[in-house]
Structure 1
Amino acid sequence: MTVTSTLRDDGILVVTMQHPPVNALPVQGWFDVAAALDVAATDPAVKVVVLRAEGKGFNAGVDIKEMQNTTGFDALIGANRGCFAAFKAVYECAVPVIAAVNGYCLGGGVGLVGNADIVVASDDAYFGVPEVNQGALGAATHMARLVPQHLMRTLYFTARTIPAAELVQHGSVYAVAPRAELDDLALGLAAEIAAKDGRVIRAAKEALNGIDPVDVNHSYRFEQGFTMELNLMGVSDELRDTFAGTDKAGGAA
C-alpha cells in the first residue's frame, strides 16, 4: 500500500508513504497523501501529523515510468493534479505537519516538505528539485521556503542537491539525527505540540497561514502551467523517455 495512516492515543497522526523501489509516487499515491491529511479537518482527535516514509528515501517525486507507460495525457494531468492536491493538503492541514525526511527528498518530495510546518531529517538526507532534467517545472515555490532565493535558483537551474545539515544552518530543517533515531525525533516534537490545547494549535495554524507572504497554491499552479507548455512542445516527453530507461532515483512535480 502506498500511503497508510495510524492515529495514536496521544493525538499524533502518523502518515507513512511506501512505494518501492524509490518512493516515486504514482498518481493515486498523491491523492492518497492528500486524503490522509484532510482527515485532520474532520477529526478533532488529531492534534498533529507526522509525515514520514519507509524505504530508501522519503520521496523521489512522481512515478515517471507510470507516466511514460500510460497512453495519452491522463497520467501527466493526474500527476499535476495529484501533486497540487497533496501539497495543498499539507499546507492547509488543520493541524501542524511535521515532515520526517530520510535519505533523499526530490521533486515532489520537496513540495511536501516545503509546505510542512516543521522539518526534521536523518543525517544522510538531502534535498533537490531535478525538474529541469525531466522537462518539467515545479516545486521552486517550495524550495524557496527552504533556502534563500539565489541559492534556490542555483539548485533549480543545476538540479543539484543540498544536504539536510546545510538546511539546519538556513533554519528550514529543525534538526538532524541518525536515521535510526529520526522517528523518535519527529514523535518527540509531535508529542510536545499534542500536549497543548488543540483548539489553540488549530487557531495558530490558520493564523500563521493567514500571514504567510506567499500564496503557495497560486505560486505552484503558475509553475505547473509552464510544465504543460513544455509537454505540448514535446520537450518533456523526450526527456522523460530518456529518464525512464534508467534506474536512478528521482522524479518531477
Structure 2
Amino acid sequence: MTVSTSAPRDGIALVTVDFPPVNALPVHGWYGLAAALTAAGRDPDTRAVVLTAEGRGFNAGVDIKEMRRAEDHEALIGANRGCFAAFAAVYECEVPVIAAVHGHCLGGGIGLIGNADAVVATEDATFGLPELDRGALGAATHLARLLPAHLMRPLYYTGRTLTARELQQHGAVWEIAPDQAALRECALELAGQIAAKDGYLLRLAKEAINGIDPVDVRRSYRYEQGFTFEANLSGVAARHRAAFATGEEK
C-alpha cells in the first residue's frame, strides 16, 4: 500500500496511488498523497504532475472499514482532515495536475479530480458521489466544478454515476483513452505539452488561475464537512456505514 513518485519524462512527475483492492484510502494514505503532490510541485525541475492509480480503479474514497473499527471519532476526524489535505494539495500544487482516471472514481476520487487542472479517463471510467448511501456528505464542492448545477444536484442526491463519455460532454474530461495502458500515455502526452512551457510562467499561471476562481474550494469543502460531523453525531452515519459493510460482506 503506497503512494509513489517517479519521473517518466523530463519535467513530469508521476504520482501513483496503490492501495489494493479498490484504492479506498486509509487516513495515512490521504496524508501520504498530500505530501507527495506537494513535494512534486515544489521540485523546481517539475513543470507538470500526473496523478494516477494502480489496480481496479482510480479511487473509491475513504476506507470505511477503518472508520468502523475505530471506537471513537478519531478515524472520522483523520479521514476528514486527510481528505481536506489531499484535495488542497491537488489544487495548490505549484504546477498543473492532470488526473488519469480508470475504473471507478467515487467519493474522495471526485474531490481529487475536481481540484485537478485536467482529467483524462478510460472508456470504462465511472464517476459519482455515493456519499448519502455511506452516511456521509462532502465533495459537492468538487462535483460542482465538473458539472452544471442541475446535473450535479440530482447526481448527488441519487448517488448515480456518469461515464467518462457523459462527463466529456460537459467539458470535464480532456481526452478518453481506450484502456489503462493507453491512459498513461494520453496523460503523459498532455503533461508533455504543458511541461514544454517555461516553468516559472507555468507557476505564475497556476497561481493566477486559482486566484480568479469564483468559489474558494477550501472554505466551501470545509463547510460541507461540518454536516458530515453532524451526520455522525446524530448516529445516522454509523447506521449507513454498517449497512454498506454488511452488503459488501454478502
- What interval of TM-score do these two structures reach, taking the shorter chain for normalisation? over 0.9
Measured against aligned partners, the alpha-carbon deviations of 1:102-121 in whole angstroms (never above 9, x if no partner) come to 01100000000000000000
Partner secondary structure for residue 57 of structure 2: coil
Q: Which residue of 1 aligns with 2:195?
A: 194
Measured against aligned partners, the alpha-carbon deviations of 1:32-76 in whole angstroms (never above 9, x if no partner) come to 110001113431011110000001110000000111012211111
Q: Which residue of 1 aligns with 2:208?
A: 207
Large movers: runs of 4+ above 3 Å: none
Size of the aligned set, in residue pairs, is 248
**Deviation of 1:9 (Å):** 4.7
Unmatched segments (≥5 aa) in structure 1: 249-253
Take 1:70 and 1:135, find their aligned partners in 2: how far apart are those partners?
16
Q: Which residue of 2 aligns with 1:107?
A: 107
Letter in 1 for 2:172: S
Q: Tell me how large the CA RMSD over aligned residues is.
A: 1.1
1:161-200 maps to which residues of 2 (within 5 A)? 161-179=161-179, 180-200=181-201
Higher relative contact order (CA 8 A, sep 6+): 1
Partner secondary structure for residue 15 of structure 1: strand
Letter in 2 for 1:122: T
1:87-106 maps to which residues of 2 (within 5 A)? 87-106=87-106
Take 2:223 and 2:114, find their aligned partners in 1: how far apart are those partners?
17
Measured against aligned partners, the alpha-carbon deviations of 1:130-160 in whole angstroms (never above 9, x if no partner) come to 0011111101000011110010001000000
Q: Which residue of 2 aligns with 1:242?
A: 243
Take 1:234 and 1:166, find their aligned partners in 2: how far apart are those partners?
36
Take 2:62 and 2:22, find their aligned partners in 1: how far apart are those partners?
10
Instruction: Report whether the alignment pairs 1:130 with 2:166.
Output: no
Q: Which residue of 1 aligns with 2:4?
A: 4
Unmatched segments (≥5 aa) in structure 2: none
Aligned-residue identity in percent: 64
Q: Is the 8 A contact 2:128 2:155 kept in 1?
A: yes
TM-score, scaled relative to structure 1: 0.96
**Deviation of 1:125 (Å):** 0.4
Q: Which residue of 1 aligns with 2:153?
A: 153
Partner secondary structure for residue 213 of structure 2: coil
Take 1:11 and 1:209, find their aligned partners in 2: how far apart are those partners?
21
Partner secondary structure for residue 137 of structure 1: coil
Q: Which residue of 2 aligns with 1:23?
A: 23
TM-score, scaled relative to structure 2: 0.97
